[in-house]
Structure 1
Amino acid sequence: MTIFNYLPILAEAAVTSALVCCLSLVVAAIMAFAAGVTLCAGPAWLRAIAILYVEVFRGTSLLVQLFWLYYALPLIGFSMPPLLTGVLALGLNTGAYGAEVVRGALQSVSPQQHEAARALNFTRMHTLWRIILPQALSEMMPSFSSLAVQNLKDTSLVSMITIADLTFKAQELRNLTQDSVSVYGASLFLYLVMALAVIAVLRALERWINKTTGRHA
């Protein structure tokens, strides 16, 4: 059989991968902005929590995080369905990397912007949300695009906790047919298509942000 024979079968499983990717990116965006803003402008006790979160999730294996949430957490009395576990693990992990992107972008805004805001008697939070963050968004988008694609590729790990995603289905087909070349070739093609779609969406969002903030004419 050829790659094209497997595409319709694997495309159904790719929908699950896309769903996990989209939901986990929502979690990642929330965590990235919450932790990144806290690292820049939060009180000391909140910054300590944000630092702990970022260092733990960046400094440990995503696969082990996934296994801990799925296999270890129920042993202390809290269990989640596989899909929710996968979404949370991916979202928290990607969000930790995103937090550093947010922090770096916020700190890259010219100090003169802060001084001008103080001269206009803006509060610290007003300065952050109305002046600094809109400018920093443009700086964040290229790195966010890379993180989003990495997140999509990392969805393959959720097959390890029984989620029937693209990788899970590809492995099933390969075991049935012993056709590694065509099955995994079709899988690579579908991952590439989804990655290109993610990149296209985020580039369109980047152009919209740049236009809205007046960064480009």
Structure 2
Amino acid sequence: MSELLPLLLRGTLVTVQIAALGTLLAVVMACVATAAKLSPFAPLRWIGNVYVEVFRGTSLLVQLFWFFFVLPLPPISISMTPFQVAIIGLGLHYGAYGSEILRGALRSVPGGQYEAALALNMPALTRLRRIILPQAMINALPPATNLMIELLKGTSLVSLITLSDLSFRARQLDQATFETAEIFTLTLVIYFVLAQLLATVMRHFERRVSHGYGIARGGAK
């Protein structure tokens, strides 16, 4: 274990980097797609719907292969490193799911909240920042946490595009040492620990958001 663990930790660092950057891109894409789908302009709604349906309706593994093997071919000829492909593939794929979570959370805010904000002549951005988003975030955070954990586990697929993440290192070590049980058990433990750390951080964030909103709502009363 003392020899295997440092090598697996190198792969774990790559996995954490991919998961973090992929999550950031997924959050951006979720916000952009949600704004497009809720736009009053039909072309923007169409673009948002196409993005969400394409990336939700196709396999993540095939998407990674497409970005890695097809984009470099003529006439497209866009070449990316495996690291870039991993971040873009994961971000776009899970951003489509995140868009639906965010859209549902925004729809869950009672209509009376919108009407009250309009009655107070609040500008649209102020209405969104102070009234809508705080309530929507409370509903969005639990499913968003699950989605982030799914993204973390989905990073294991990037080993198939030659990226030396945790899964790639585990397979390398297995082929070199034939210590299959020890290597993959340790790999499972590392993924589990990462997922639990992520869930703990998100639960803490969720409590803070809920508590802050409760204080604000109590002060308003």
What's the counterpart of residue 138 of structure 1?
Answer: 138
Question: Contact 1:105 / 1:136 at 8 angstroms: preserved in 2?
Answer: yes
> In structure 1, which of residues 43, 65, 68 is the aligned counterpart of residue 66 of structure 2?
68
**1:195 paired residue number:** 195
Change in CA separation of 1:24 and 1:42 when aligned onto 2, cut-off 3 Å: farther
Question: Is 1:53 the counterpart of 2:45 in the alignment?
Answer: no
Which residue number corresponds to residue 205 of structure 2?
A: 205
The normalised TM-score by structure 2 is 0.91
Distance in 2 between the 1:145 and 1:211 partners? 18
Q: CA RMSD in A?
A: 1.7
State how far apart, in whole Å, the 2-side matches of 1:203 and 1:4 are: 33
8 Å Cα contact 1:10-1:169 kept in structure 2: yes
Q: CA deviation at 1:207?
A: 1.6
Q: Secondary structure at the match of 2:38?
A: helix
Pair 1:87-2:87 in alignment? yes
Counterparts of 1:48 and 1:128, CA distance in 2: 23
- For residues 38 and 141 of structure 1, the distance between their equivalents in structure 2, rounded to whole angstroms, comes to 21
Verify the 8 A CA contact 1:6 1:186 in the aligned structure 2: no
Runs of 4+ more than 4 Å apart: none
- Distance in 1 (CA, whole Å) between partners of 2:165 and 2:93 is 19
For residues 96-135 of structure 1, the aligned pairs below 5 Å read: 96-135=96-135
**After the TM superposition, which of the residue ranges 199-208 and 80-89 deviates more from structure 2?**
199-208
Distance 2:4 2:136 in 1: 44
Q: Does 1:172 align with 2:182?
A: no
Q: Comparing 197-206 with 144-153, which one deviates more in the overlay?
A: 197-206
TM-score of the aligned structures, taking structure 1 as reference length = 0.93
Q: Secondary structure at the match of 1:80?
A: coil
Provide the secondary structure at the position in 2 that maps to 1:70: helix
Among all aligned residue pairs of Structure 1 and Structure 2, give the percentage whose two residues are the same amino acid: 42
Q: Matches of 2:40 and 2:133 in 1, distance apart?
A: 14
Residues in 2 aligned to 1:36 and 1:54: alpha-carbon distance in whole angstroms = 9
Q: CA deviation at 1:7?
A: 2.3
Q: Is the 8 A contact 1:156 1:167 kept in 2?
A: yes
Aligned length: 215
Structure 2 unaligned runs (5+)? none
Change (3 A) 1:70 1:183: same
Match of 2:36 in 1: 38
The separation in 2 between residues aligned to 1:5 and 1:42, in whole angstroms, is 59
Q: For residues 37-95 of structure 1, what are the alpha-carbon distances to aligned partners after superposition, in whole Å with 9 as ceiling and x for unaligned?
A: 33234522211111110000000000000000011001121111110110010011010
Aligned in 2, Cα 1:212/1:38: closer, same or farther, shift over 3 Å?
A: farther
Aligned-partner residue type, residue 48 of structure 2: A
Provide closer, same or farther for how the CA distance between residues 214 and 90 of structure 1 changes in structure 2, counting only shifts above 3 A: same
